[in-house]
Amino acid sequence: MLSDRQLQILEVAKRLGRVQVEELSQRYDVSVQTIRKDLNELCDQRLLARVHGGAVISSGVENVGYDARRSIAATEKAAIGRAVADLIPDRASLFINIGTTTEAVAQALLRHAGLMVITNNINVATILRPYPEIEVIIAGGVVRRSDGGIVGEAAVDFIRQFRVDFAVIGVSAIDPDGSLLDYDYREVRVAQAIMANARQVILAADATKFERSAPVRIGHLSQISSFVTDVCPLPGIARICAEANVALVEALGEKVEARRESAADAE
């Protein structure tokens, strides 16, 4: 049986996607040791999965809700968006697929000129539509109510009509072996078509994707031209990028290292 506090923690995790020990300690006015014990018990029942500093929803078959995904690592996603935008020149053609990180990329592209953007993401189209320097083309197909993504065979056929300079893709999870994963096989089919019809593929994914799992394989990190993340904590992933000649861009890498050095100096 779960305690009332543990049930509440579980509800917070479902709403936000993850919970932090320090924040929960303050919220419930209990010690961090008590919260760690709560999280350990929830993890023992496979309701949550422990990550550094907290826990995440453990489901490997169902994605976190769209509003929760938007709030997870929002600062990191904004930095990733800016770093991806720096890789894309004016007057380029590109695909942008479904995801809250790719929406951050769209936001960062607003100052570009002469872009053609093909997307299966209604939210990306909404962000870019008001800007006359950006031509927006939206795929047809089934609109997923949960997040405004357009999926299905009609979207795949539509994507295959184009051959663009760049593809910007997001994923739901990245395995330690470099596999790129998602939850919806229909979305995966569209993502695979996007990757196959772009000259360069840019993966935009924050570090929380290393903590998650999903059941459907999109492809492998070695198929990507550039991988833009906030920080890459896994040496194995960095090694895969180096061996496959994938450019690894850590949008917050220097800042994270600076924080670590400051903490070390304080000790």
| Whether residue 58 has pLDDT greater than 90 | no
DSSP 186-212: HHHHHHHHHHHTEEEEEEE--GGGGG-
Q: Which tens digit of pLDDT belongs to each residue from 238-248?
A: 999 999 999 99
On whether the CB atoms of residues 19 and 42 are closer than 8 A, the answer is no
Q: What is the pLDDT of residue 18?
A: 81
| Whether residue 67 has pLDDT greater than 90 | no
Q: What is the pLDDT of residue 145?
A: 84
Please compute the mean of the pLDDT values over residues 24-39 and round it to a whole number: 94
Which of 19, 193, 47, 164 is CA-nearest to residue 95?
A: 164
- Residue ranges of domains in the chain, CATH in brackets: 4-58 (1.10.10.10), 68-254 (3.40.50.1360)
Q: Give percent above pLDDT 70 in the chain.
A: 90
User: What does the mean pLDDT of the chain come to?
Assistant: 88
On whether the CB atoms of residues 198 and 95 are closer than 8 A, the answer is yes
Please compute the mean of the pLDDT values over residues 121-144 and round it to a whole number: 94
Q: What is the pLDDT of residue 59?
A: 54
Tracing tokens 């690592």 back to the chain, one arrives at: 73
Local confidence band at 103 (pLDDT 50, 70, 90 cut-offs): very high
Q: What is the pLDDT of residue 224?
A: 97
Q: Give percent above pLDDT 90 in the chain.
A: 67
Q: Which tens digit of pLDDT belongs to each residue from 212-244?
A: 888 999 999 999 999 999 999 999 999 999 999
